[in-house]
């Protein structure tokens, strides 16, 4: 009987027992991945950013915010399970199947959050001091690609999770409560601090007798992250999301019409064809200078903004006028408005678009020069 059994055995690759097509396809895919594994990270990185750039439309889009919230919930869940495992707690059988994938899954979620923040905060950042926070986001976004094997370090997880949760709530709560002010930012910080501490408490609670040391370290790094973001905010180094300056320009004339805003300016030479406003501004006595801006705000948000006109002197920049108006949110292209200033003098000028609390949405720098006679010809365009 033993001889008959051995005689009936077939080699797995023999014609009588050919490999299944599914197994063959998996083998080819595995071999292809092994040959190109070194390019996998940069490929996923690039595709992920391209996907986010195409799919993330508005900071007040409900679907986009739900996706980001799911990322944060998934990370919190994986942090708790990872810390409990490190404390000697045996996970449930179904968790064991997924546990080896936690590092790259957390990396994917963190990458999705950082790339989204880069897009949203870039739209809100002006190239003033707020670019500092944007650069931090870019560095974290790029650095995340090298953190897969370090995402089991409780200290690193504490910093990243608190930072991501705080950054999300900083633009999500204004959308929900239809308000943009320092109190909303304070609420975002308080919620992110509380949730981060709760997540790490549940993750470390199983480490009986030894919880004090790792929990103290987690509290320290969470508090440092929370404090650091507050310092950046009150130093006006964080963009005032969800508000964003969509467009701006200096013109010889701005008139609101039924079809949009009609602007007049001196055309530039071909090599400066992208600059469709007056810089330098050709000034003639008696003329006014007009500043046009379009500021995006989420739906239902009404917030006062101001055009702050400043002139550069030998003692630095001196504010000469602050002209305010209220914007109403919801329009994709931003709420449009303009202000005019008379009594202008030759030299360097600046108009800052500021919120009621003095946070800078954007800045337009231009130079005023004495105009020739006759005045250079103007072109007229309609901004819809």
DSSP state of 19: P
pLDDT averaged over every residue in the chain: 80
Which range has the worst mean pLDDT, 158-167, 195-204, 205-214?
A: 205-214
Per-residue pLDDT, 100: 72
DSSP string, 124-190: H--SSTTHHHHHHHHHHHHHGGG-GGGTT-HHHHHHHHHHHHHHHHHHHHHHHHT--SHHHHHHHHH
Residue entry with tokens 């007009």: 290
> What's the pLDDT at 186?
95
pLDDT at 5: 44
- pLDDT over 70 percentage in the chain: 74
pLDDT band for position 376 (cuts 50, 70, 90): confident
68 by Cβ neighbours in 10 Å (0-12 / 13-18 / 19+) ranks as: buried
CA-closest candidate to residue 60, choices 140, 177, 162: 177
Greatest alpha-carbon pair distance for the chain in Å reads 114
The tokens for 90 are 């045996």
The CA distance from 187 to 240, in Å, is 15
pLDDT tens, position by position, 256-290: 998 889 998 887 655 444 446 767 888 888 888 99
pLDDT at 18: 57
Using DSSP's 3-state secondary structure scheme, residue 6 falls into: helix
More confident residue, 116 or 17: 116
Q: What is the pLDDT of residue 323?
A: 92
Please tell me what DSSP assigns to residue 14: S
Q: What is the pLDDT of residue 41?
A: 55
Q: Is the dihedral of CA 87, 91, 96, 99 positive or negative?
A: negative
User: What is the rounded distance in angstroms from the CA atom of residue 146 to the CA atom of residue 384?
Assistant: 45
Whether 251 and 292 have beta carbons less than 8 Å apart is answered as: yes
Residue 105: the pLDDT is: 83
Task: Note the CATH architecture for domain 244-383.
Answer: Sandwich (2.60)
pLDDT at 187: 96
In the predicted structure, residue 356 carries a pLDDT above the cut 90: no
* pLDDT of 47: 62
Q: Which residues pair with 319 in a beta bridge?
A: 310
Question: What are the residue ranges spanned by the domains of the chain?
Answer: 56-234, 244-383
Left if phi > 0, otherwise alpha if psi is -120 to 50, otherwise beta: which for 339? beta
Q: How confident is the model at residue 121 (pLDDT cuts 50, 70, 90)?
A: confident
Higher pLDDT among residues 329 and 244, named by residue? 244
Q: What is the mean pLDDT of residues 21-34?
A: 67
What's the pLDDT at 79? 92
User: Nearest CA to 200 among 184, 176, 189, 216?
Assistant: 216
Q: Highest-confidence range of 45-54, 88-97, 158-167, by mean pLDDT?
A: 158-167
Name the nearest CA neighbour of 266 among 279, 285, 284, 248: 279
The pLDDT, as a whole number, for residue 317 is: 92
């Amino acid at each position: 009987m033993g001889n008959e059994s051995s005689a009936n055995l077939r080699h797995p690759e023999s014609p009588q027992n050919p490999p299944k097509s599914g197994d063959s396809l998996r083998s080819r895919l595995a071999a292809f991945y092994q040959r190109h594994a070194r390019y996998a990270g940069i490929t996923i990185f690039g595709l992920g950013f391209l996907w986010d750039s195409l799919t993330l439309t508005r900071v007040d889009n409900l679907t986009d915010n739900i996706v980001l919230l799911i990322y944060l919930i998934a990370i919190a869940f994986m942090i708790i399970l990872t810390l409990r495992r490190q404390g000697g707690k045996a996970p449930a059988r179904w968790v064991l199947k997924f546990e080896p994938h936690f590092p790259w899954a957390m990396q994917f979620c963190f990458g999705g959050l950082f790339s989204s923040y880069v897009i949203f905060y870039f739209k809100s950042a002006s190239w003033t001091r707020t670019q500092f926070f944007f650069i931090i986001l870019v560095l974290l976004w790029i650095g995340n690609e090298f953190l897969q094997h370090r995402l089991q370090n409780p200290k690193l997880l504490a910093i990243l999770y608190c930072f991501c949760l705080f950054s999300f709530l900083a633009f999500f709560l204004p959308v929900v409560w239809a308000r943009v002010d320092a109190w909303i930012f304070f609420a975002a910080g308080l919620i992110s601090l509380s949730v981060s501490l709760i997540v790490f408490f549940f993750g470390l609670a199983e480490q009986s007798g030894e919880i004090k040391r790792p929990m103290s370290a987690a509290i320290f790094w969470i508090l440092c992250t929370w404090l650091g973001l507050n310092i950046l905010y009150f130093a006006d180094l964080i963009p005032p999301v969800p508000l964003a300056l969509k467009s701006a320009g200096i013109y010889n004339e701005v008139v609101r019409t039924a079809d949009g805003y009609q602007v007049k300016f001196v055309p530039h030479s071909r090599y400066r064809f992208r600059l469709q406003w007056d810089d330098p501004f050709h000034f003639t006595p008696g003329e006014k200078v007009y500043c046009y801006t379009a500021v995006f705000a989420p739906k239902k948000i009404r917030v006062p903004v101001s055009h702050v006109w400043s002139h550069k002197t030998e003692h630095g920049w001196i504010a000469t006028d602050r002209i305010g108006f209220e914007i109403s949110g919801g329009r994709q292209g931003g709420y449009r408005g303009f202000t005019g200033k008379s009594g202008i003098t030759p030299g360097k000028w600046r108009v800052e678009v500021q919120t009621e609390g003095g946070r800078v949405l954007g800045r337009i720098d231009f130079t005023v020069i004495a105009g020739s006679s006759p005045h250079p010809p103007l072109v007229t365009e309609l901004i819809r």
